Amino acid sequence: MSGGIDFGRRLMELAERAEKTCAYTYTDFCNMQELSVYAGMKRELNFVANEDFGGAEECERRMIRFGDRELCGYEEPFPISLLEIKPVQEKFADALSHRDFLGALLGLGLQREKTGDILIKDNRAYAFVHRDIADYIADNLEYVKHTHVKVSVCETIPEDVKPSRERQRLIVSSNRLDAVIAKLYRLSREQAVKLISQSSVYINGAECISTSKTLKEGDVVSVRGHGKFVFAGEAGQSKKERLYVDVEVYV
């Protein structure tokens, strides 16, 4: 799927179909740009229940669903399966990265929008995928790089694999978006402004191009190529009248 006008039309078509047929409709896994389009259309789409989910609350790539029990008369889970991909013999395995696992999945001829987040831990991958392709992957994915792997379906992500957050305190000139990004990721103010102006920053799932945006407690900020954090609020002033702010960084 692509972002912009075409994606917006697709969302409206799915919403209208769900309302007309009283059946759930879904997108594939959406990237941040597409989710930003969705966030901007919430008011237009509120004639039918809708929500987004990626398999776990922390996921960035997410499906959008239209419909609910009240409209459809039944409940239905998102069509998402979780796969564990691990070396058959760890001692002979290559060091495997996110890029390696994603490349192996796409090498099966799969489209990127059929795969969601891929979490890596100790040379194992936990990949959220569209339910329709889970069995195909399990039957056909044999190697990641030169490493023989085994694929199995699991119900939940192990606790040690789930993303965690590390609290940090920063000293900034203000709680403006560009100031916090620059300080957290050790960038110049100009580099932070460039990231924002290039549509690489999202707040609560919506694209943000305002460098002067003031962050509020609870805002979830994603910076493409750098990471994600939650703005946890202000924590007083320094003797030089600079601002202490707390952030919780996903690690």
Residue at 64 is within a domain: yes
Residue at 172 is within a domain: yes
Stretch 102-125: mean pLDDT: 96
Same domain, 41 and 91: no
Residue at 132 is within a domain: yes
* Average pLDDT for the chain: 94
Q: Which of 127, 154, 181 is the last residue of a domain?
A: 154
Q: Which of 154, 186, 207 is the last residue of a domain?
A: 154
Instruction: Give me the pLDDT at residue 2, please.
Output: 47
Instruction: Give me the pLDDT at residue 158, please.
Output: 86
Least confident of 51-55, 157-161, 180-184, 196-200: 157-161
Stretch 77-95: mean pLDDT: 95
What range does the domain containing 33 cover?
A: 5-72
Same domain, 109 and 175: no
Stretch 237-248: mean pLDDT: 90
Same domain, 175 and 245: yes
Same domain, 175 and 240: yes
Same domain, 244 and 186: yes
Question: Within 13 Å and on the Cβ side, how many CA atoms surround 122?
Answer: 8
Stretch 117-138: mean pLDDT: 96
Q: CATH number of the domain that 20 lies in?
A: 3.30.1370.160
Q: CATH number of the domain that 218 lies in?
A: 3.10.290.10
Residue at 137 is within a domain: yes
Q: Give the residue carrying structure tokens 């194992």.
A: 124
Question: Within 13 Å and on the Cβ side, how many CA atoms surround 241?
Answer: 0
For the cut 60, the answer to whether the pLDDT of residue 210 exceeds it is: yes
Same domain, 242 and 181: yes
Instruction: Give me the pLDDT at residue 5, please.
Output: 75
Same domain, 85 and 116: yes
Instruction: Give me the pLDDT at residue 159, please.
Output: 84
Provide, rounded to the nearest whole percent, the portion of the chain with pLDDT above 70.
98
Instruction: Give me the pLDDT at residue 170, please.
Output: 95
pTM, 2 dp? 0.84
Q: Which of 154, 180, 203 is the last residue of a domain?
A: 154
For the cut 80, the answer to whether the pLDDT of residue 4 exceeds it is: no
pLDDT one-digit tens code per residue, 29-58? 999 999 999 999 999 999 999 999 999 988
Same domain, 170 and 246: yes
For the cut 80, the answer to whether the pLDDT of residue 178 exceeds it is: yes
Instruction: Give me the pLDDT at residue 147, please.
Output: 96
Q: CATH number of the domain that 126 lies in?
A: 3.30.70.330
For the cut 70, the answer to whether the pLDDT of residue 165 exceeds it is: yes
Provide, rounded to the nearest whole percent, the portion of the chain with pLDDT above 90.
84
Instruction: Give me the pLDDT at residue 3, please.
Output: 52
Question: Within 13 Å and on the Cβ side, how many CA atoms surround 185?
Answer: 25
For the cut 70, the answer to whether the pLDDT of residue 8 exceeds it is: yes
Number of domain units in the chain: 3
Stretch 173-197: mean pLDDT: 95
Instruction: Give me the pLDDT at residue 1, please.
Output: 43
Residue at 160 is within a domain: no
Same domain, 242 and 170: yes
Least confident of 159-163, 191-195, 212-216, 228-232: 159-163
Same domain, 92 and 132: yes
Residue at 159 is within a domain: no
Confidence class of residue 197 from pLDDT cuts 50, 70 and 90? very high
